[in-house]
Amino acid sequence: MSKLQQAVTSIQLTIDSIVQYAEKLPKEIIYWKPDENAWSIIEILAHIEEATPYWLTELKQVVESPGIEWGRGLDHDGRLAAVAQAGQRSLEDVLAGIQVSKQKVKNVLLSLKDEDLTIESPSRNPRFGTKPMTFIVNHLLVEHLNQHLKQIQRNIQQYEDNKLSI
């Protein structure tokens, strides 16, 4: 199995886990914030829905035009808007958008060759510098989704702990 096929499988399994967790949660947990600086589960999900296609587009553009800048900072308008508008969206709508991204992941990643992942380009985010495209696949897609799955699990645990302490 190629590196790209492995990444597709990993991403799709993580997306399936995220959706399965979220589908069975009561609305009160989905919209609950652990604290004022933390994201609710609906905000995490809206971010996932927006971020996955964003990184796929960035990856594709670099492969098509090696050497161009890629990436964004935490204050990127699209990222912030997705999170800011999450509270007004239904869980079903956000999960449907996440499900659509599964096919986009497959289409984009399997259209590439493993050699494409060695292309290096500078990031707009100075923290990252110049990276090979394996960085986008491994860090900003595979690991990023896994981190958000853990964040959702943490929110659920914090909600349950909070209910017990009341």
pLDDT digits (tens, 9 = 90+) for 15-56: 999 999 999 999 999 999 999 999 999 999 999 999 999 999
Identify the pLDDT of residue 166: 59
Q: Where are the domains of the chain?
A: 3-165
Identify the pLDDT of residue 39: 96
DSSP-derived secondary structure letter, 49:
H
Identify the pLDDT of residue 76: 75
User: CA-to-CA distance for 137 and 163, rounded, in angstroms?
Assistant: 38
What 3-state class would DSSP assign to 36? coil
- Judging by beta carbons within 10 Å of its beta carbon (0-12, 13-18, 19+), is residue 165 exposed, middle or buried? exposed
> What's this model's pTM, rounded to 2 decimal places?
0.94
- What is 3-165's CATH topology? Four Helix Bundle (Hemerythrin (Met), subunit A) (1.20.120)
Closest-CA residue to 22 (of 58, 46, 53, 5): 46
